[in-house]
């Protein structure tokens, strides 16, 4: 897709055990989390917003996997802040917003979800050539289709 950095594209849909193996040489998620947290701090100190956004995204996905949804939400929100409205890596923006919206839905947080969900759906549906590769993306697409059909949208 235009506006994405191809070298990072696999990072956003890679399974966490595979990511751990790739980055740490093992499948120990605790070690992966520690290394990513150290890298996150270094990216913050160095003023590297895209690196910070990517690291927060991966840390958030790791927290979702462990069902630590509140911590995942914090990481995804930090990733949104690090992106600062920039969509230079469009696939990252799609991944961050869809995962954040998915966490809000799972936590049954309608106020926050109402703010993030339209952005996530717009990014998900409006990204040319994007194929849903995660459960979060698939779940949001199902929700969008239910709303469109249930609302009898002529555009659906």
- Does the pTM surpass 0.85? The reply is no
In words, the CATH class of domain 6-150 is mainly alpha
Directed axis angle between helix 69-83 and helix 49-65, to 10°?
Answer: 160
Contact (Cβ atoms closer than 8 angstroms) between residue 20 and residue 28:
yes
pLDDT tens track for 18-34: 665 556 565 677 888 89
pLDDT tens track for 45-97: 999 999 999 999 999 999 998 899 999 999 999 999 999 988 888 889 999 99
Sorted by where each begins, the domain ranges of the chain are: 6-150
Which pLDDT belongs to residue 19? 60
């Amino acid at each position: 897709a235009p506006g994405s950095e191809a070298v990072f594209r696999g990072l956003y849909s890679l399974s966490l055990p595979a990511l751990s193996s790739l980055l740490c040489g093992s499948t120990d998620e605790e070690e992966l989390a520690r290394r990513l947290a150290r890298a996150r701090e270094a990216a913050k100190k160095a003023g590297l917003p895209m690196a910070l956004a990517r690291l927060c995204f991966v840390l958030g996905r790791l927290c979702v996997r462990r069902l630590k949804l509140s911590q995942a939400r914090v990481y995804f929100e930090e990733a949104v802040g690090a992106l600062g409205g920039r969509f230079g890596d469009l696939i990252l923006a799609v991944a961050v917003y869809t995962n954040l919206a998915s966490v809000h839905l799972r936590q049954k947080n309608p106020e926050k979800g109402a703010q993030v969900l339209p952005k996530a759906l717009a990014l998900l549906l409006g990204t040319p050539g994007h194929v849903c590769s995660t459960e979060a993306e698939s779940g949001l697409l199902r929700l969008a289709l239910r709303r469109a059909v249930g609302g009898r949208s002529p555009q659906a």
